[in-house]
Structure 1
Amino acid sequence: MNRPRLRHNRDFRLLWAGAACSVLGARTTGFLWPVLVIWQGGTPAEAGAVGFLALLPHVLLPVPAGVLVDRWDRRRVLIGSDLVALTAVSSVAAASGGPALAHAMVAAFAAGSAAVVYQLAERAAVRTIVHPDDLSAALSRNEARGRGAGLLGQPTGTALLPIAAWLPYGFAVLTHLLSLGALLRIGHGLRGSTGTSGNFRAELADGLRWLWRQQFLRVAIALIACTNVLFQIVNLALVVAVLGAGGSPLAVGLIGVGAGLGGICGALSGPWWLRRLPLSTLLIGCFTTWALLIPLLALVSGPVALGAVFSAVCFAAGVMNVSGGVYQARITPEHLQGRAGGVAGLLTSGASAGGSAVAGVLLGLSGVDTTVWLVAGVMALLAGLSLASPSIRAAGWAEPRTEKVVIESRGNNG
């Protein structure tokens, strides 16, 4: 396929815009499912059940969905995912008097499932439609888009819900319709391989075997999954610290805005770093930066200082996500993009869920300062492990101008 450069790539612009709308809708309603139940007089247990079902697809679906993303035309997968999400949120918006509990549970699970599949298919499709030299720029824009959607989604949902319970879901209906309109204008399918349908278990095993042989990816994903646990603990620790010191929810929200802006800046700067530093230096540098910054969260006070430190933490996270994403997209064969992304998504999402569960218990037992110091110690250990890992230290350049990446489905690329 002849792939134009990014500035002239109409299909990438349509894919990017469609995904921006779809992700914004998903982020607007994603955290609202349990809130909606409470808002309508439900019990905390009922709200927890609905929230659990909204998050469950992030653990159940990434790996099997990755097989289907590699097997089917990714444009059709994206359209199908948007249609499922559209059906789920429109049914809630149209429910007279609000959805019944069973309705909310089914809709939350369906919308969460659609979001997981959409994310995998969209990420796998990027390499199909962009020029190889533009991959880092494309993925940095995608990372910034995702962080921007997260920044806008929650305040949009919380602003619309008090006006009318159906309104956030009506807004999501509009975003998914806009996404569908963009996807339908893409000029061709988004599958770069010519793979055919085969045995599901065999295809899954092929993807797992290939990923296991990539020593660098294996170690990097494990380390990043560990940091996701730590960041969930830090997120809750910041909320407890600010509110415990007499701060307002607005102050917590402003810290979140600062973190989102830091992540966006980090993501957009990713290509700049990738052109100047090898992947090993970037990853070790990010882990070391986090190990140095996190102790400051226990040493400073006030929303402004805490927000500044956490913004710097999120800046490094944006750089890390783009760097790792570019390497994974380049080194993974076209027909395994979905499966590789699915396994990585399962490990990182599962780690985040585990971190959320651990955070409350740890803060309750140890308090904010002790918890932050414990997290800092573990992060320092991870930084040391990244520096000691031969596969991390041996990682070369992620940009094609500095190192030609040979894509093959065998051997050790660590």
Structure 2
Amino acid sequence: MVTPETLDPAPAEVPLRRNRNFQLLWSGSGLALLGREITDLVYPLVVLAVTGSPAWAGAFGATQMAVSLLAGLPAGKLADTHDQRLLLIIMETVRAIATTSVLVAVLHDAITLPHLLAVAAIVGAVQPLGGSARMLLVRAVVPPRQLTAALTQEEVRSHAAALGGPSLGGLLYATATVLPFLATAVSFVVSLVCALFVRPPARARKPTVDGDRRMLAGLAQLWKVPILRHSTMFAAVLNAVSAPLVLVVIVVLTRDGASPGTVGLTMAGLAVGGLAGTVLVRPLHDRLTPGALMLWLGGTAVLLIAALSLPFGAWWLAIALFLLGLGGPSMRVLMDILIFRQVPDEQRGRTVTAFMTVLGVGSSAGMLASGLLVEHLSAQAAILTLATVLAIALGVSISDRRIRSVQWPTETENRS
């Protein structure tokens, strides 16, 4: 039985702008995310410059993603059973050292492919560890009634970094190869310093009935709670369909003879839409139930993805991507809220990383399938195929009464 003494101490309810711990986490992670976006663009360029091989350039990202997926479930267990602030500090320290090693290699003209692939593996391994720890820290320092607002600010940070990072990375790389790595290393160090000054409330563990500390407990939680099970499956399909859209749209534009500048501006529509969509999170969450919101976002996504197949040029693709991006923040915050409010505290880390792992598997499968589709079909046919897959998943979800009728859980539902 859970008693009041075993519950997490509630953080003081002050405006988020005056919540010192949240602002440290938000600012530090914002800079770190900007740095990561910078090097996500630059690393493939450096690999291409070193090897001259597009395949090896793609191998960098594939290595990082594969290691992140493998590390996801163990990372969740560590986040549940160890000091989350310490884990965040470890992640930022490792990322700063790894990036600095590349910076030093570039300065000495000693950069090699094995070194870069090792960095990809190291960064991929610590990413889910620090990411899940930071999410749980946000939950610990933000009062329950402010959780939606805090997660919305997280979305603002993510989309702002996604919008500004690639262009800044290209500018720095064009100026000097070392500059993007210097900027990224500094961003990780600043995030590390911010983490050092975070003072979360003392964690008071709630006793569990079965003492379940298995690494796969997060997946079990996602499967056990019906709304989490169905929404996770739907989100995985949505991610599998959405992740390869960038590749497919680039193929469409390239085949139409668009310039690199036009391609960049068109793809920016998705990031701008995501940033603009953060202002819709609170209104949509206030007016719609979780099931209705998920189905509405899925329905609009089907229509907008299908609209990408229409041959109206880059401006049309940019508008469709912008509109598609508008729903992203609401869907991600919806899933975060459901996890945080329905999963016991001692299993939230594993559940968050299990959810991200499922999405990662969906993204990987979607990228692989879309590559095969584009190779054997026209880009327009590939887009319509992706839209059809999502429409089928949407139809299955609409037919499920439990999804249609689910209500927002209260903060206390996971504490009984």
TM-score by length of structure 2 reads: 0.91
Cα deviation, residue 313, structure 1:
0.9
SS in 2 for 1:284: helix
Q: Aligned to 1:313, which of 321, 324, 345? A: 324
Asked whether 1:219 is paired with 2:238, we answer no
Residue matched to 2:27: 17
Residue matched to 2:299: 288
Asked whether 1:325 is paired with 2:336, we answer yes
SS in 2 for 1:162: helix
Residue matched to 2:354: 343
Q: How do 1:120-135 residues align onto structure 2 when only pairs under 5 Å count?
A: 120-135=132-147
Q: Distance in 1 between matches of 2:275 and 2:77?
A: 30
C-alpha change, 1:242 and 1:205, in structure 2 (3 Å) is: closer
Asked whether 1:68 is paired with 2:86, we answer no
Q: Distance in 1 between matches of 2:216 and 2:57?
A: 37
Q: Aligned to 1:114, which of 107, 122, 126? A: 126
Higher mean C-alpha displacement, 2-11 vs 378-387: 2-11
1:114-143 CA-partner distances (Å, limit 9, x unpaired):
322222111122111101100000011112
Q: Distance in 2 between matches of 1:331 and 1:201?
A: 16
Q: Distance in 2 between matches of 1:119 and 1:363?
A: 33
Q: Aligned to 1:148, which of 133, 137, 160? A: 160
Cα deviation, residue 344, structure 1:
0.4
The answer to whether the 8 Å contact 1:98/1:166 transfers is: no
The answer to whether the 8 Å contact 1:71/1:195 transfers is: no
C-alpha change, 1:43 and 1:378, in structure 2 (3 Å) is: closer
Asked whether 1:3 is paired with 2:28, we answer no
Q: What amino acid maps onto 1:108 in structure 2?
A: A
Q: What amino acid maps onto 2:413 in structure 1?
A: V
Cα deviation, residue 396, structure 1:
0.3
C-alpha change, 1:252 and 1:89, in structure 2 (3 Å) is: same
Residue matched to 1:412: none
1:207-237 CA-partner distances (Å, limit 9, x unpaired):
3333321111111111111111111332222
Q: Distance in 2 between matches of 1:44 and 1:289?
A: 35
The answer to whether the 8 Å contact 1:28/1:172 transfers is: yes
Q: Aligned to 2:414, which of 404, 407, 414? A: 407
Q: Distance in 2 between matches of 1:69 and 1:267?
A: 27
Q: Distance in 1 between matches of 2:206 and 2:176?
A: 47
1:365-404 CA-partner distances (Å, limit 9, x unpaired):
1101211221222222122112112331131025x5xxx6
Q: How do 1:167-186 residues align onto structure 2 when only pairs under 5 Å count?
A: 167-186=179-198
C-alpha change, 1:372 and 1:51, in structure 2 (3 Å) is: closer
The answer to whether the 8 Å contact 1:130/1:138 transfers is: yes
Asked whether 1:81 is paired with 2:77, we answer no
Asked whether 1:277 is paired with 2:288, we answer yes
The answer to whether the 8 Å contact 2:218/2:353 transfers is: no
Cα deviation, residue 408, structure 1:
4.5
The answer to whether the 8 Å contact 1:67/1:339 transfers is: yes
- 5+ long unaligned stretches in structure 1: 410-414
SS in 1 for 2:175: coil
Cα deviation, residue 45, structure 1:
4.3
Cα deviation, residue 11, structure 1:
0.7
TM-score by length of structure 1 reads: 0.91
Residue matched to 2:399: 388
The answer to whether the 8 Å contact 1:28/1:153 transfers is: yes
Q: Distance in 2 between matches of 1:193 and 1:42?
A: 54
Asked whether 1:363 is paired with 2:374, we answer yes
Higher mean C-alpha displacement, 376-385 vs 338-347: 376-385
The answer to whether the 8 Å contact 2:306/2:384 transfers is: yes
The answer to whether the 8 Å contact 1:193/1:334 transfers is: no
Q: Distance in 1 between matches of 2:143 and 2:200?
A: 16
C-alpha change, 1:179 and 1:295, in structure 2 (3 Å) is: same
Cα deviation, residue 288, structure 1:
0.9
Q: Distance in 1 between matches of 2:246 and 2:47?
A: 24
Q: Aligned to 2:266, which of 250, 255, 267? A: 255
SS in 2 for 1:407: helix
Q: Distance in 1 between matches of 2:400 and 2:262?
A: 40
The answer to whether the 8 Å contact 1:233/1:356 transfers is: yes
Q: What amino acid maps onto 2:245 in structure 1?
A: V
Higher mean C-alpha displacement, 304-313 vs 4-13: 4-13
The answer to whether the 8 Å contact 1:58/1:350 transfers is: no
Q: Distance in 1 between matches of 2:170 and 2:128?
A: 23
1:128-171 CA-partner distances (Å, limit 9, x unpaired):
11011000000111122112212222222222223222221111
Q: Distance in 1 between matches of 2:23 and 2:390?
A: 37
Residue matched to 2:63: 53
- 5+ long unaligned stretches in structure 2: 1-8
C-alpha change, 1:374 and 1:49, in structure 2 (3 Å) is: closer
Residue matched to 2:384: 373
Cα deviation, residue 175, structure 1:
0.4
Cα deviation, residue 89, structure 1:
0.1
C-alpha change, 1:288 and 1:184, in structure 2 (3 Å) is: same
The answer to whether the 8 Å contact 2:31/2:188 transfers is: yes
Q: Distance in 2 between matches of 1:48 and 1:314?
A: 25
SS in 2 for 1:247: coil
Residue matched to 2:42: 32
The answer to whether the 8 Å contact 2:222/2:229 transfers is: yes
Cα deviation, residue 84, structure 1:
0.3
Higher mean C-alpha displacement, 156-165 vs 200-209: 200-209
